[in-house]
């Protein structure tokens, strides 16, 4: 029987790969194996638990400083070489644009294992933003045999780079498959109870190029807007990166209507997202999730690789200038017409059937 190996290692990859792993494991025409690299040592396991996915291989990576990308890449390549030698898959799947995605595709390229790229074709066309993700996804495009583009625009980006059209499949994004399993009408958790009579601003921030002053400016804008409005609260589930936590604690601590929390479990996060007033984020996948739930998103970056939500009006790219973020946020909070113009669900990112489509295509190709 043919073997398919899924390789992933960070929280966002796990959110988008677990629905596909479960879909493939339901099919009897191939054997599906899961290798996790543990690039996100702390925040990966809760996502695996949420989907009841048990890895068949799990790398024991040495600890690297957050900015030691060369060391991380070397360790990933070394570990993945062993997994590929042991499993000898007929094809492998990587997702998105992380160091694991890049090293996974490269290890497969060296081992002559054909690779499928899930969420292919996202681009800002600026190699420095997001850094290093824009490089990782472009490099993986060069190495992949199958390109699963989430949207028509992502497909067009791949065409522009000369990718063979017959190898590109528009499938929707598997993140929407995940969202369909987690959001529930009767969900309760302590943050939702705390914010039940307020408008809740949900904040996430962790992009490397925003570490330090840019993130500080964004959080200062949020703090100002919240402090001026007694009916508004904010919650920021902090990323484990120590540099992110230092800034968040320095800027936001001591404000009674702002909660800094540990990273939320996936179902908690999705249900808070589904009930919040709006979102301020520099995250990637959260833009798709929020837009598909009809939540206005202020994107604290200078460019987004998710332009569909911008065209639909639900995402607004506001950068990291404090006054600009403040003005955009207070406009949403104070002007119902401005809010209504952004608060509508975007269906461009998927319909919940992406995993099924990818599985169908792969099994046919095998």
Stretch that binds ligand UDP, among 18-26, 260-268, 337-345, 350-358 (CB under 6 A): 260-268
The residue assigned the tokens 């090293």 is 103
Query: Is 177 part of the annotated catalytic residue set?
Result: no
Query: Is 227 part of the annotated catalytic residue set?
Result: no
Catalytic member of 206, 257, 270, 357: 206
> What is the side-by-side order of every strand in the sheet holding 232-237?
258-261, 232-237, 199-204, 278-281, 297-299, 315-317
* DSSP-based three-state secondary structure for 135: helix
Bridge partners of residue 7, in order along the sequence = 35
Q: Out of 4, 7, 11, 168, which residue is the one contacting ligand UDP (CB under 6 A)?
A: 11
CA angle at 175 for the pair 170 and 179, rounded to the nearest 5°: 130
Q: Out of 37, 58, 124, 204, which residue is the one contacting ligand UDP (CB under 6 A)?
A: 204
Shortest separation between residue 181's beta carbon and ligand UDP, angstroms: 12
Query: Is 119 part of the annotated catalytic residue set?
Result: yes
The residue assigned the tokens 């113009």 is 341
Max Cα distance, the chain (Å): 63
Catalytic member of 11, 40, 117, 133: 133
Instruction: Give how many residues touch ligand UDP by CB under 6 A.
Output: 17
Q: Which two tokens stand for residue 316?
A: 């607004």
Contact call for residue 104 and ligand UDP (CB under 6 A): no
Q: Out of 266, 278, 315, 317, which residue is the one contacting ligand UDP (CB under 6 A)?
A: 266
Contact call for residue 284 and ligand UDP (CB under 6 A): yes
C-beta closer to ligand UDP: residue 33 or 299: 299
Stretch that binds ligand UDP, among 72-80, 218-226, 227-235, 282-290 (CB under 6 A): 282-290
Q: Which two tokens stand for residue 327?
A: 């003005």
Q: Which two tokens stand for residue 307?
A: 């332009």
Backbone angles phi, psi at 199, to 5 degrees: -90, 130
Contact between residue 218 and residue 295 where contact means Cβ atoms under 8 Å apart: no
Stretch that binds ligand UDP, among 8-16, 80-88, 153-161, 163-171 (CB under 6 A): 8-16
In sequence order, the 6+-apart residues with CB closer than 8 A to the CB of 280 are 201, 202, 203, 205, 218, 222, 297, 298, 300, 325, 329
Site string for ligand UDP, 286-315 (x = CB under 6 A): x--x--------------------------
Query: Is 206 part of the annotated catalytic residue set?
Result: yes
What are the helix (H) ranges across 207-365? 213-227, 242-252, 266-275, 285-292, 307-312, 322-334, 336-342, 354-365
Stretch that binds ligand UDP, among 139-147, 258-266, 294-302, 331-339 (CB under 6 A): 258-266
Site string for ligand UDP, 148-187 (x = CB under 6 A): ---------------------------x------------
Mind telling me the catalytic residues?
97, 119, 133, 206, 208, 239
Residues in contact with ligand UDP by CB under 6 A are 11-12, 15, 175, 204, 206, 237, 263-264, 266, 269-270, 283-286, 289
């Amino acid at each position: 029987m043919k073997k398919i190996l899924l390789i992933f290692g960070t929280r966002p990859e796990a959110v988008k790969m677990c629905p596909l792993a479960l879909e493939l494991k339901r099919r009897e025409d191939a054997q599906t194996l899961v290798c996790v690299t543990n690039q996100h040592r702390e925040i990966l396991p809760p996502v695996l638990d949420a989907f009841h996915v048990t890895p068949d291989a799990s790398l024991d990576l040495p600890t690297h400083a957050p900015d030691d990308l060369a060391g991380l890449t070397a360790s990933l390549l070394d570990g993945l070489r062993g997994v590929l030698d042991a499993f000898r898959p007929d094809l492998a799947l990587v997702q998105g644009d992380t160091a694991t995605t890049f090293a996974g595709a490269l290890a497969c390229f060296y081992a002559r294992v054909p690779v499928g790229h899930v969420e292919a074709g996202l681009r800002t066309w600026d190699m420095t933003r997001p850094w290093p993700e824009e490089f990782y996804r472009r490099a993986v495009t060069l190495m992949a045999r199958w390109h699963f583009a989430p949207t028509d625009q992502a497909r067009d980006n791949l065409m522009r780079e000369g990718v063979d059209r017959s190898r590109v499949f528009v499938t929707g994004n598997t993140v929407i498959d995940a969202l369909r399993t987690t959001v529930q009408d009767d969900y309760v958790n302590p943050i939702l109870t705390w914010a039940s009579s307020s408008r809740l601003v949900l904040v996430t921030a962790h992009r490397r190029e925003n570490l330090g002053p840019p993130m500080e400016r964004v959080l200062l804008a949020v703090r100002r807007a919240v402090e001026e409005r007694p009916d508004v609260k904010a919650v920021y589930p902090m990323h484990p990166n120590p540099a992110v936590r230092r800034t968040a604690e320095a800027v936001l601590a001591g404000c009674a209507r702002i909660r800094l929390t540990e990273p939320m479990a996936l179902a908690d996060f999705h249900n808070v997202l589904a009930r919040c007033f709006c979102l301020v984020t520099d995250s990637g996948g959260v833009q798709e999730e929020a837009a598909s739930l009809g939540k206005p998103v202020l994107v604290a970056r200078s460019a987004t690789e998710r332009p569909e939500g911008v065209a639909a009006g639900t995402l607004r790219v506001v950068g990291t200038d404090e006054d600009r973020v403040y003005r955009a946020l207070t406009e949403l909070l104070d002007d119902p017409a401005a809010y209504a113009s952004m608060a509508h669900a975007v269906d461009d990112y998927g319909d919940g059937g992406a995993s099924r489509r990818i599985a169908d295509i792969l099994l046919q190709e095998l």
